[in-house]
Structure 1
Amino acid sequence: MNIVVTGAAGFIGSHLCEALLSQGHLVKGVDQLQPASALKIKEDNLRHAIGHPHFEWHPADLLGMDLGRLIEQADVVFHLAGLAGVRNSWGATFADYLQANILLTQKLLEACKQAPRLQKLVFASSSSVYGGGGGQYNTEASPTRPISPYGLTKLAGEQLCYLYYNQYGVPYTALRYFTVYGPRQRPDMGFHRFMKNAWLDQPLFIYGNGEQTRDYTYVSDLVDANIKAMHYPKHGTVFNVGGTETASVNEIMQKIERLAGKPLNMQYSPEQPGDPFATRADIALASAELGYQPKVSLDQGLAAQWSYITALYANEKP
């Protein structure tokens, strides 16, 4: 199939592009290589895709592109582009989140309603739509009460998809990602920061008391869910995508300590606004409807990411 992936140079997008190429699809990847500090990492992410005979690379600002022309021959569109991160979504930077997560989604949906070949739009949403959580499992029917501006923008993106499905028949499926980790994870994300600092013998800064828990999803499992959603024949749907297990931040620190083979210098600081205390994914619906079953254990996934981090920062080792 002809497939467009927005956010193709990112952590998840690059893994998705590789998986689609391995299945023989024609993939058109689009991403904005800004800010400049992210350029090298994003270029490294795509080194296996660029040069592939079935990959077409478009480094561009999606908001400034002719999206109708971009997707006019697309059978499937994966919309992963957007601005992530709970803590930075407050204050003046909220305008950037509005642009990247809401206005861009609406612009893409306008193009999708005119795309003659489109069979599926897969929209990347987030567990942040549920809010803080009290440790209970979130089902797709759980209340959506975001506690951060970021979560609000992802929920707005979901609702825009539903509006365009209901009014124009845009064939979408939305996936709510639960804390994705693995090789190529963004440098600002927790596991990347923790492992980098552990490798370089630097302090590990933890927000809160470390007892907050997450449902962790390894990137290859998430890619599998996206590909299954691409083939899902129903539209106007949303699914949770979680991993094999949950753990507290302190439990993660113990696992990283074992990988590093040395005690870690952990420093705790106050909780940050908008950070949920607990997230847990009920994936029964995705299992029943998509056939989704996460396979990678937390220990396996952390070991793979540790290998990636130690190679990435090998030259910075003191």
Structure 2
Amino acid sequence: MTVSLPRSALVTGVAGFVASHLAEALLDHGTQVTGLDRRSPETDAVAAANLTACLGRPGFTLARADLIDCELAPLLATVDVVFHLAGIPGVRASWGARFPEYVASNIVATRRLAATCHQLGVPRLVVASSSSVYGPAGDRPVTEDGPTRPMSPYGVTKLAGEQLSLAYGSLPQPATTVVALRYFTVYGPRQRPDMLIQRALQAALGGEELLVYGDGKQRRDFTFVGDVVRASLLAAGVPGPAEVLNVAGGNSVSVTEVLATIAELTGRPVPTRSAPDQAGDVPGTWADTSKARSLLHWQPRTGLADGLAQQLDWLRCHQPGGHR
């Protein structure tokens, strides 16, 4: 499928892991990109690192603002597509005192953005959702019309934000059409430091113990960031008023298998330390991606071993004493 990219786009949460990769890809294709984030590269080292390839580049404008209360109309007035990736991630922290922040960022801000897109007639809104909306996978890959039973407050907020956005796309003759993409465990260069693969690679390189929750038999459908970006770009042009699509690697792999692959790639065993299962951590995720194949003509291109090798190479280049 040929990617028909917008002339101009707004990327929310642009200083984040996936959004910064998406902004780079849009710039590479000639799209004028406004990146919105409440973090400043001047004061946030992670934001600065993620946006290195965007800052100062022709066609890129950074707007430092918070979706909760910023003036949205000037940001949306001339864009063809909004890619909404802003929000607070993480299952474990959502059980604690920060839950009101999850509600504000993942639900209230998302509804505010979707409503303003509708009011101003922005043609397309692409929303980053999560596999956490499903809850535990059974013995079959989950389809988009399957039950949604999130097992964490985080998953509840992602489902609410997704469904609010789709509600605007389901209005009679909607001014803004909506595609919600349910990302499954995205990994790759610049992955968040709290994520399993990033922590495991650092443990293999540095020798510090990796804290493994549970028995290591938990399974995840890992998805390389380049595949996620490609699906997101394609979602900008797919027809339909309100669609939800799984975006996943298509293969459910256990934590133990991931650690074994990392050991092979690094030539070092990953030192581990066990900890009890954590609330909200589902035993497995596994996606059916046939709808994305049909509507987007998309399928994942990067297998786990190749994706891990790319993330390892990036980490070796960017981590002090990275053991090349």
TM range (shorter): over 0.9
Of residues 164, 168, 179, the one that matches 2:168 is: 164
Asked if the contact 2:250–2:287 (Cα under 8 Å) also holds between the matched residues in 1, the reply is no
The answer on whether the counterparts of 1:216 and 1:242 sit within 8 Å (CA) in structure 2 is: yes
Cα distance in structure 1, aligned partners of 2:180 and 2:134:
14
The residue number in structure 1 matching 2:53 is 48
Instruction: Give 1:35 deviation, angstroms.
Output: 11
Q: Does 1:128 align with 2:137?
A: no
Task: Tell me the CA shift for residue 68 of structure 1.
Answer: 1.8
CA distance in 1, matches of 2:288, 2:247: 8
Please name the residue that 2:237 is paired with. Answer: 231
What SS does the corresponding residue of 2:44 show, helix, strand or coil? helix
Q: One-letter code of the match for 1:55?
A: F
Does structure 2 retain, via aligned residues, the 8 Å contact 1:74–1:115? no
Unmatched tracts of structure 2, length 5 or more: 1-6
- Give the equivalent residue in structure 2 for 1:222: 228
Q: Give the drift of 1:260.
A: 1.9
Partner AA of 1:309 in structure 2: L
The 3 A distance-change label for structure 1 pair 149 and 181 is same
Question: What corresponds to 1:281 in structure 2?
Answer: 287
Give the TM-score normalised by structure 2: 0.94
Indicate whether 1:193 and 2:199 are aligned.
yes
Alpha carbons of 1:220 and 1:316: their partners in 2 closer, same or farther (altered >3 Å)?
closer
Query: What amino acid maps onto 2:196 in structure 1?
Result: G
Query: Deviation at 1:111?
Result: 1.1
Which residue of 1 is the match for residue 179 of structure 2?
173
| Cα RMSD (Å) | 1.6
Do the aligned partners of residues 228 and 35 (structure 1) sit closer, same or farther apart at CA in structure 2, a change above 3 Å counting?
closer
Cα distance in 2, alignment partners of residues 17 and 239 from structure 1: 21
SS across alignment from 1:82: coil
Matches within 5 A, 1:1-318: 1-33=7-39, 39-116=44-121, 118-167=122-171, 169=174, 170-315=176-321
What SS does the aligned partner of 2:86 have?
coil
CA displacement 1:16-35 (0-9 Å, x = unmatched): 00111111110000112179
Instruction: Describe the SS at the equivalent of 2:222.
Output: strand
TM-score (norm 1): 0.95
Moved over 3 A (4+): none
Unaligned segments of structure 1, at least 5 residues: none
Matched residue count: 315
Alignment check: 8 A CA contact 1:73 1:115 kept: no
CA distance in structure 2 between the aligned counterparts of 1:8 and 1:137, rounded to whole angstroms: 30
Aligned-partner Cα distance in 1 for 2:114–2:157: 15
SS of residue in 2 equivalent to 1:304: helix
Match of 2:3 in 1: none
Letter in 1 for 2:294: A
Query: Are the aligned partners of 1:5 and 1:29 in contact in 2 as well (CA < 8 Å)?
Result: yes
Give identity over the alignment, percent: 44
Aligned to 1:199, the other structure's residue is in SS state helix
Contact 1:240 1:286 in 2 (8 A): yes
Q: Is the contact made by 1:68 and 1:114 (CA closer than 8 Å) also made in structure 2?
A: no
